[in-house]
Structure 1
């Protein structure tokens, strides 16, 4: 089996591997018991047509498309022409088929993707846990001894990649919805600067914070998917680890780590230092201000309430109560509260960017805990909301910063997955991708030590 999408597409382009055969393997992976609840609907005929076209191009010696007829899953938040978009909810179960692709989907299709299906997700993307009472919750495949949460809200997308049912997953990230499931499942999740990818044809959660982006198997795949989704060329900077100025933020980001995450994060930092990385711990006290800034509910509450208020009035009994509860927080926010939030965020971003001016990127645990068990949050609302807040805490910092971040695995073999988050401010995407490639290579070189 190829290690990642980049290796698979090289094989397809060279005619050494059939895209149709690889698609058949992906579809078989989607039908295994471990993939239960991963897909809400599949696009079998469309996927086969894309794979067949890739094989014909290779046979004719024609230049191959960037995604080479390979399986890509789509979060049930993005319009795919000819299929309904239901956002993981029964509230939209009667939605008509989309007349056209969302721009992000269209760009994947134009790049030769075999779009294999809409993946399950947290209802309306409003949780980092991945729980879905309507369509079932996809099970994290990283632990076969006990059922663990997948992370959300791009839950099914991450599991599709982890199980081999897709090479990459289109998803969204509003407070960590790409990076959380990537971290909990040992995958790569890149949240680009929000303005770089169009969101038309996507059911909104927060129009201020939503980002269209992808989960992949490697950092080089993250570069490829970002170039396609953002329709831009990444300018990679070839520098050794010693050439980057890296910080570790102590405030908030390191609180509440469980033993596995604390050990994996400390070991990863040491392995990077052993490879020449210059890493400095900083306080970054501004992170402690976020709780007060968002005390009235934040952008997600206000902006989701604006979109859902009529639907809640008509169909609240069909919502996941945990999602409805979070949306309803926005009802208490007035226009002045919202304007205050915008202004407070703008001032906070300026202070944080000034504090980080001497660094290329910041390193943090993506989330402070390994994936909790499904049983621990299934019936206990208090525990669900505690876990949800803990999972969202670190990655949501980057969304509020209007920045970019990549989560990549940093655990040792035999450990439950742990994510290392590499992050920076607005439009520093190429820097984050460049240093992440170096970090990935350095951690891989020392993984067996």
Structure 2
């Protein structure tokens, strides 16, 4: 269906206003409003994203721009010669690029704090609480750009939750597709094994549209009604230590789905309890980021965020044998976990809280390493399990009107993306009335 170009251009005009407002303070490392206007004017009405304002995480190459990953280390790097494939696909689909967004330095944190460019405050919580709260990371500025209306969608990455965490903390939708479906070329890597290119939007339908563009494929929906869905709720790990607001919103969402006819069943899935031991040495992110950063750390260590450098250096202690054994252990773990999930044809998807806490205040996490790493570990715990599974997952809001944002994660194994999107559309519609929206 052709897009109303005049409406898209009005949306871009509103996005520019939002991008220059206090809500987007520290959200962008570069704005490109003139270029966005030209792209919108040149867009065809039959293009999938015709004239829609899109922000680009400062991790991706855009021709003529420097890709710095929100770090001082690469500030003087030469401009990219070509778009990353994901950027090129968005451009070809008619997107209007409003700018590059701030992020956790080199994508190495689920919190979203950046000491170089400032930390963009959570937009969704600002209307409920005067305390500046974290945006979630690492796609922090991208999430803020969408929540503030400065972008219709935000291109980002997800290695352990970097799309879903900020989406959950800001009441947005973040879809992490199966990693292999979208090329990661032209993006600075965190973990070549786990990195996923994906996006943040305000609703599931838009997430589906952007995924089709990024993956250059058509999603096949079964249009299953809720009454036809069988949904699993793993009780190992995913429900541990939930803050009261998260537990209440999650249980209320499950009750709503059950009342609408969905079969919602608990299962132990004990394999999730093995993840901490499997990744005790730092996991793929530490090993693979060390391989990429070791020469830069040898000459520019003082320019890194010390918390990021500390995590990267964990990979220095991993031997080749350790790394190879981890790849074997992951392969075995995936096989056992998928067998325990019974897919297919068992569950249509799994349900978990995206993260176990609401967005904490920024100031205590800036002041204390202990508080920072505790929050970071908690935020990454649930979503990172899906990356290790090589699976797909979507976070959508499940909190009520006037409540702090809480994310519901709908997830499954590799290449079950269409089933997750299909289920998410039905779940989103069922939860809409309790959130103050229409079904």
Report deviation, 1:242: 1.6
Does residue 130 of structure 1 match 2:112? yes
Report deviation, 1:11: 3.3
Q: For the residues of structure 2 that align with 1:285 and 1:165, how far apart are their CA atoms?
A: 42
Residue number among 312, 318, 327 corresponding to 1:342 in the alignment: 327
Match of 1:3 in 2: none
Match of 2:432 in 1: 444
Does residue 418 of structure 1 match 2:388? no
Does residue 175 of structure 1 match 2:160? yes
Residue number among 421, 424, 433 corresponding to 2:421 in the alignment: 433
Q: For the residues of structure 1 that align with 2:189 and 2:424, how far apart are their CA atoms?
A: 29
The answer to whether the 8 A contact 1:19-1:52 is kept is no
Q: For the residues of structure 1 that align with 2:404 and 2:91, how far apart are their CA atoms?
A: 34
Superposition TM-score, scaled by structure 2 size: 0.97
Q: For the residues of structure 1 that align with 2:331 and 2:11, how far apart are their CA atoms?
A: 47
Deviations 1:326-365 (A, max 9, x none): 0000000000000110000000000000001121210000
The answer to whether the 8 A contact 2:400-2:434 is kept is no
- Equivalent residue runs for 1:42-81 within 5 Å: 42-54=31-43, 57=44, 63-81=45-63
Match of 2:176 in 1: 191
Q: For the residues of structure 2 that align with 1:448 and 1:296, how far apart are their CA atoms?
A: 45
Residue number among 338, 347, 353 corresponding to 2:338 in the alignment: 353
The answer to whether the 8 A contact 2:125-2:170 is kept is no
Match of 1:315 in 2: 300
Match of 2:233 in 1: 248
SS in structure 2 at match of 1:153: coil
Q: For the residues of structure 1 that align with 2:307 and 2:4, how far apart are their CA atoms?
A: 45
The answer to whether the 8 A contact 2:168-2:354 is kept is yes
- Equivalent residue runs for 1:206-285 within 5 Å: 206-285=191-270
Count the aligned residue pairs.
Answer: 431
Report deviation, 1:18: 4.1
The answer to whether the 8 A contact 2:358-2:406 is kept is yes
Does residue 363 of structure 1 match 2:348? no
Match of 2:4 in 1: 11
Residue number among 120, 127, 131 corresponding to 2:102 in the alignment: 120
Report deviation, 1:68: 1.1
The answer to whether the 8 A contact 1:191-1:405 is kept is yes
Does residue 332 of structure 1 match 2:332? no
The answer to whether the 8 A contact 2:125-2:405 is kept is no
Q: For the residues of structure 2 that align with 1:18 and 1:430, how far apart are their CA atoms?
A: 29
SS in structure 2 at match of 1:221: helix
SS in structure 2 at match of 1:337: helix
Match of 1:376 in 2: 364
Residue number among 203, 206, 215 corresponding to 2:188 in the alignment: 203
Q: For the residues of structure 1 that align with 2:98 and 2:382, how far apart are their CA atoms?
A: 31
Unaligned runs of at least 5 residues, structure 2: none
Superposition TM-score, scaled by structure 1 size: 0.94
The runs of at least 4 consecutive aligned structure 1 residues that moved more than 6 Å come to: none
Deviations 1:245-292 (A, max 9, x none): 110011010011111101000000001111101000011110010111
SS in structure 2 at match of 1:105: helix
